[in-house]
């Protein structure tokens, strides 16, 4: 049985001459939540490892790299065995990833993420064997080992199976021991630079005004909409002291108006600054369903001449829902926008096309980003 469903969405651009005049109220965030110190950045780590202790849910014999890895691991431990002689279902090859934060020191622990590389069914109950984690320079910065925590599960029998969550990905909380640190330089020639998480000229200017109000005039200057330079005080000159003094400053922020659309999952996220101008929208749906039924025809009496005939019968039905024209008033807030669209009874799949059409018609005051 196969079926195809087509959703036809129609947007009629009936825009008023006057643009809806609305104001958006800014929010205030702490400076440490708005900007990062330039140079204090995390680094990504990756490694290849083996998970053992699985309950018959590991890689099969088709995953030859798992067998080779197990044989190599055993040889390092003094046990010689050929890879083609190994039959293990309790082990799985995995990729181990982690993020090394700034200012971390050897001896500290970080979390790691473990992801199956072969055809393992589940990593639940497994233990990650000692795995070196390297950076982009191929240097070992941490070593991971420990029990894996998996959120989902998988169970199967001869005729059915059930899977919940994603059992082939798990975490090892505090599972990596840091072995080396990344040199970090957050000051240069008596200046500290702050990189805004979201570049915006207005936010950068407000950041400069807040810092100058705390440290004195001319202490901070905006290099560009995403970078602010701060001169270290002549008395102390301590970067840590400077950051502690300005870290809790409240900075009024005003992010860009944006609508994020994920067509793969049908997710639509509307930012707080999004505004909708008056428009008229008509939406309807055309549904086409194709059903195939198999009919078997056999001879009426036994021992008579005849053959069993298998025929396919195809039934096609189509429904066209009538679409009505709805007037959507201008929306000043996200709540007004959601209420206006909910009044149309649209589904998430419909919202994706409606938002794209609204932006094309000029009725949506936001950037539409499709992922």
Residues 150 and 63 reside in one and the same domain: yes
pLDDT, position 366: 79
pLDDT tens digits, 177-220: 999 998 888 877 788 999 998 888 888 999 999 999 888 878 89
pTM confidence score:
0.65
For 63, the domain range is 43-178
Residues 151 and 269 reside in one and the same domain: no
Alpha-carbon distance of 367 to 365, in angstroms, equals: 7
Residues 18 and 33 reside in one and the same domain: no
Instruction: Give every residue of the chain whose pLDDT is below 70, as ranges.
Output: 1-27, 152-165, 236-237, 255, 263, 279-294, 298-306, 310, 312-346, 348-349
Q: How many CB atoms lie within 10 A of CB 110?
A: 22
Residues 205 and 87 reside in one and the same domain: no
pLDDT, position 248: 87
Q: How many CB atoms lie within 10 A of CB 230?
A: 24
Please tell me the total count of domains within the chain. 3
Closest CA to 142 of 184, 99, 186: 99
Contact 279, 354 (CB under 8 A): no
Residues 139 and 230 reside in one and the same domain: no
Place of tokens 């970067």: 239
pLDDT, position 334: 56
pLDDT tens digits, 99-112: 999 899 999 999 99
Alpha-carbon distance of 32 to 101, in angstroms, equals: 16
- What DSSP state is assigned to residue 19? P
Residues 143 and 200 reside in one and the same domain: no
Residues 312 and 268 reside in one and the same domain: yes
Q: Check which CATH number belongs to the domain holding 32 and give it.
A: 3.30.1360
- Two tokens, residue 122: 């589940």
pLDDT, position 113: 96
């Amino acid at each position: 049985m196969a079926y195809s469903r087509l959703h036809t969405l129609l947007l009629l651009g009936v825009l008023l001459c006057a643009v809806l005049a609305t104001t958006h109220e800014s929010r205030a965030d702490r400076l440490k939540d708005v900007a990062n110190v330039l140079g204090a950045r995390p680094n990504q780590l990756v490694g290849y490892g083996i998970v053992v202790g699985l309950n018959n849910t590991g890689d099969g014999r088709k995953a030859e790299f798992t067998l080779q890895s197990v044989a190599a691991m055993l040889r390092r431990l003094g046990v010689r065995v050929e890879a083609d002689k190994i039959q293990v279902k309790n082990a799985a090859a995995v990729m181990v990833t982690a993020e090394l934060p700034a200012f971390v020191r050897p001896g500290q622990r970080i979390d790691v993420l473990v992801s199956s590389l072969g055809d393992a069914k589940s990593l639940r109950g497994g233990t990650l064997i000692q795995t070196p984690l390297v950076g982009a320079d191929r240097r070992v910065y941490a070593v991971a080992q420990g029990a894996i925590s998996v959120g989902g599960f998988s169970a199967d029998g001869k005729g059915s199976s059930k899977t919940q969550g994603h059992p082939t990905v798990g975490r090892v909380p505090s599972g990596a021991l840091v072995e080396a640190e990344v040199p970090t330089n957050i000051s240069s020639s008596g200046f500290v630079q702050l990189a805004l998480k979201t570049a915006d000229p207005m936010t950068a200017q407000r950041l400069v005004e807040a810092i100058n109000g705390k440290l004195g005039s001319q202490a901070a200057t905006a290099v560009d909409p995403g970078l602010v330079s701060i001169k270290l005080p002549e008395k102390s000159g301590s970067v840590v002291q400077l950051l502690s003094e300005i870290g809790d400053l409240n900075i009024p922020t005003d992010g860009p108006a944006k609508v994020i659309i994920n067509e793969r999952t049908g997710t639509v996220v509307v930012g707080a600054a999004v505004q909708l101008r008056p428009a008229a929208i008509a939406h309807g749906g055309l549904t086409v369903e194709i059903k195939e039924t198999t009919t078997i025809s056999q001879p009426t009496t036994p021992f008579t001449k005849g053959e069993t005939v298998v025929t396919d019968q195809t039934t096609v039905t189509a429904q066209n829902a009538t679409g009505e024209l709805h007037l959507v008033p201008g929306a000043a807030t996200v709540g007004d926008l959601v209420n206006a669209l909910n009044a149309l009874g649209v589904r998430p799949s419909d919202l994706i096309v409606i938002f794209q059409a609204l932006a094309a018609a000029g009725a949506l005051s936001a950037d539409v980003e499709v992922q």
